């Protein structure tokens, strides 16, 4: 059983390693974001008075852990597009006609893409540790484990959508329209607890908000969601995230089993 998961994970990672230009592109994007957005705002908000907004953190320490989560989210979700490439370029038929259970091959695929996006997030985080000394490395293992949970959830979400689509353009459109508001609402760039009530409610619908808050909690000890609702502590957040990821994985398996070549 596990070998079918393993082999697709192997494939996804192999493919990623071969795509040198894609790796370079992602890296450059990440660095530019950290420099121009991160440092730009960190410099603007450098006074003591602003740290109140971030519960005592400076802006970089506030932003960087969240960026780990959002970058994992974006790459994971986008990973679903490879299902569409495989549809267009025939490899999907090779998988569908094999006796290996589809639910396991798709799980392997999700795992492979998740590992890729976590590596990506960790590179980002490594820069983060270089830019500020306020992050706590002790929280790293927990943050990475949580990253894996959310990555599995979001790659599954991408795969589920891709299974029902035929064109990469259509997929990109959907991903684009979902990624943007989720990232903005996640509280990664500004303290969501200061936002208007209706925005907070929208934010709480999205699992990414919990992932961002958890990451920040693990790496800096600060959580913003529990100042909105005291019951929304890191334990509850983790539970909610686990449940959503699990649900998304199951949906992806179902959708992929039903995908056809028609």
Partner 1 sequence: MEYDITVENLVKRYGSIEAVRGISFTVSRGEIFGFLGPNGAGKTTTIHILTTLLKPTAGKATVAGYDVVKEPDKVRRCIGVVFQDPSLDLNLTGYENLFIHGRLYGLNGQRLREKIEEALKFVELWEFRDKEVKSYSGGMRRRLEIARAMLHTPKILFLDEPTIGLDPQTRAHIWDYIRELRRSYGTTIFLTTHYMDEAEILCDRIAIIDHGKIIAMGTAEELKSMLSSDIVYVKLEHLNGEVCSKISLEGIKNCRVVEGNTIALQVRKASEAIPAILQLLDRLEIRVLEVSYRRPSLNDVFIHLTGREIRDSEASPAETMRMRHRARVR
Q: What is the DSSP string of 11-55?
A: HHHHHHHH-HHHHHHHHHHHHHIIIIIIIHHHHHT-SHHHHTTTT
Residue 64 or 104 having the CB closest to partner 1: 104
4 binds partner 1 (CB under 8 A): yes
Answer whether 220's CB lies under 8 Å from 136's CB: yes
Q: How far is the CB of 30 from partner 1 (least distance, A)?
A: 22
Q: How far is the CB of 90 from partner 1 (least distance, A)?
A: 3
10 binds partner 1 (CB under 8 A): yes
251 binds partner 1 (CB under 8 A): no
Answer whether 192's CB lies under 8 Å from 200's CB: yes
Out of 95, 178, 194, 251, name the contact with partner 1 by CB under 8 A. 95
21 binds partner 1 (CB under 8 A): no
First to last CA, the chain: 28
3 binds partner 1 (CB under 8 A): yes
Out of 48, 49, 99, 205, name the contact with partner 1 by CB under 8 A. 99
94 binds partner 1 (CB under 8 A): yes
Residue 55 backbone phi and psi in degrees, to 5: 55, 45
Q: Interface with partner 1 by CB under 8 A: which range of 90-98, 166-174, 225-233, 247-255? A: 90-98
Size of the site for partner 1 (CB under 8 A): 26
Q: What is the DSSP string of 133-196?
A: S---GGGHHHHHHHHHHHHHHHHHHHHHHHHT---HHHHHHHHHHHHHHHHHHTTSSS-GGGS-
93 binds partner 1 (CB under 8 A): yes
127-140 exposure pattern, b = at least 16 Cβ within 10 A, e = fewer: bbeebbebbeeebb
89 binds partner 1 (CB under 8 A): yes
Q: Interface with partner 1 by CB under 8 A: which range of 99-107, 125-133, 229-237, 247-255? A: 99-107
């Amino acid at each position: 059983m596990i070998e079918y998961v393993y082999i697709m994970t192997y494939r996804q990672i192999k493919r990623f390693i071969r795509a040198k230009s894609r790796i370079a592109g992602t890296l450059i994007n990440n660095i530019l974001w950290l420099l121009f957005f991160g440092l730009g705002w960190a410099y603007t908000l450098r006074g003591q008075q602003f740290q109140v907004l971030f519960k005592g953190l400076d802006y970089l320490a506030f932003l960087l852990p969240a960026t780990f989560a959002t970058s994992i989210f974006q790459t994971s979700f986008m990973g679903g597009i490879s299902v569409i490439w495989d549809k267009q370029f025939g490899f999907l038929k090779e998988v569908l006609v094999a006796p290996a259970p589809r639910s396991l091959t798709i799980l392997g695929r999700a795992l492979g893409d998740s590992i890729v996006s976590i590596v990506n997030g960790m590179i980002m985080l490594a820069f983060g540790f270089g830019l500020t000394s306020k992050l706590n490395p002790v929280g790293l293992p927990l943050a990475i484990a949580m990253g894996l949970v959310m990555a599995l959830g979001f790659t599954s979400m991408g795969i589920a959508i891709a299974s029902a689509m035929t064109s990469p353009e259509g997929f990109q459109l959907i991903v684009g329209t979902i990624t943007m508001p989720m990232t903005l609402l996640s509280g990664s760039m500004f303290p969501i607890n200061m936002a208007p009530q209706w925005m907070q409610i929208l934010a709480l619908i999205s699992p990414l908000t919990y992932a961002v808050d958890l990451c920040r909690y693990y790496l800096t000890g600060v959580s913003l969601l529990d100042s909105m609702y005291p019951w929304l502590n890191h334990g509850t957040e983790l539970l909610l995230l686990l449940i959503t990821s699990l649900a998304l994985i199951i949906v992806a398996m179902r959708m992929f089993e039903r995908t056809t070549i028609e």
